[in-house]
Amino acid sequence: MVEVPVRRAAPARATASAPPGAAALLAPGQGAQRPGQLAPWLELPGAREQLGELSEAAGVDLVAAGTTWSAEQILPTQVAQPLLVATSLLVGRELLRDGAPGFLAGHSVGEWTAAALAGVLDDASALRLVAARGRAMAACCDGRSGMSVVLGGEAGEVLDAVARNGLLAANHNGAGQLVVGGPDEALRALEEDRPAGSLVRRLPVAGAFHTPAMAGAVPVLRAAADGVLAADPVHPLLSNADGAVVTTGPEVLRRLVAQVAGPVRWDLCTAAMTRAGTPAFVELPPAGALSGLVRRALPRARVLAVRGPEDLPAAAQLLGGS
C-alpha cells in the first residue's frame, strides 16, 4: 500500500464554552448520501488531492463514488459512511479557514466528521476508522432486521408502542421524529400498531443500527482505533451519547467506538445548543436532513443547508457570528 501524508491533529486548547454569536456546524449521517454529491466541490483548491489521500485511507474511490456511482452503488454501509464523512470534511475544512463554530455536532457517522474538524483525529485516520466502522456494521447485518422512522404522535404513546412490539429506539432525533430498530416482523407489527397521529415508514438500511444488534462491531472498531492519536478538541464538540461537550480526545474516541451499538441522542445535542443560545446552524453537505430537524425544533433559528459552493460565503458569515 502506498503511504500517504496525513493532516496532524491541531494542538488542544480549552473548549468548554462556545464563542458567542457563532453558528453551530452540523455534519449529517448515513441516509443523507446522494448520487453526485461530490461533483460541485471538486473545484475547491486542493480538493482532488485531499480526496485522493482520503480514498487511500478508506479503501474506496471516493471521487468515483461521489460523482458517477448510482444510488444503489453508494447505499452499502461500507461505501456510504466514508463518502459522507469525506464530503463533509472537504467542505468543513474550507469553512474553518476563516471562522470557528460555536459548536460542532454530527449525527451518527457524522460524529466522526465533527471529531476530525474539532482536531481530535487527522482526516486520514478518521476515514480509515470510518471505513472500518462501515465494514464492521455491515458484517452485523443479518438480512432479517432493519429500521423504521416514526413521525408524529404523542411521545409516551410512541415509546410504549415501540417497546410493546419488541423494538428499540435507535435515533432520538427530536422534532417529533424517532428512528427504531429491530427484527423485520416487529417493524411490520409497528406499522399495524402505530400510535395515533403518527406515520411509520421503513428505511432503506440493511440492519438495526445503533442497537445491540451492532454489538459485534464494537470490538472490531476498538481494535482498529488502538494506538490512534486522539488529541483534545479545539472547538466545543457535542456527543451523540448524551449531548455533553467532551473535552478530551481519548474520551471522544471511546464514545465514538461505543456509539455504534448505542442510541443517537440528537435531541439532547439540539437541547444543549439551544440552552447555550446558539443563534444559527450550518449543515455541511450533503445537507438537508439535520437542517430540517433544526427548523422544526427551533422555527426561529437561522439555518443554512450548504448545498453548493455558492452557499459558502453565507455559511462563513454565520460561523463568524454575523
283, 306 Cβ separation under 8 angstroms? yes
Q: Which of 6, 26, 1, 187 lies closest to 102, judged by CA?
A: 26
66, 91 Cβ separation under 8 angstroms? no
Catalytic residue flag (residue 172): no
77's CB contacts (< 8 A; 6+ apart) are 30, 134, 135, 137, 138, 141, 205, 206
106's CB contacts (< 8 A; 6+ apart) are 26, 27, 28, 29, 88, 112, 113, 114, 115, 240
120, 249 Cβ separation under 8 angstroms? yes
Dmax over CA atoms of the chain, in Å, equals: 57
| Cell 444488534 -> residue | 213
Q: Alpha carbon 258 to chain centroid distance?
A: 15
Exactly one of 125, 210, 235, 291 is catalytic; name it: 210
Sign for the CA dihedral angle at 13, 14, 15, 18 comes to negative
Q: Quote the strand ranges of the chain, DSSP E.
A: 24-27, 104-106, 145-152, 168-174, 177-183, 198-202, 280-283, 302-305
- Grid coordinates representing 84? 459522507
Exactly one of 55, 88, 108, 291 is catalytic; name it: 108
Q: Could you tell me how many residues make up the chain?
A: 322
Catalytic residue flag (residue 108): yes
Catalytic residue list: 108, 210
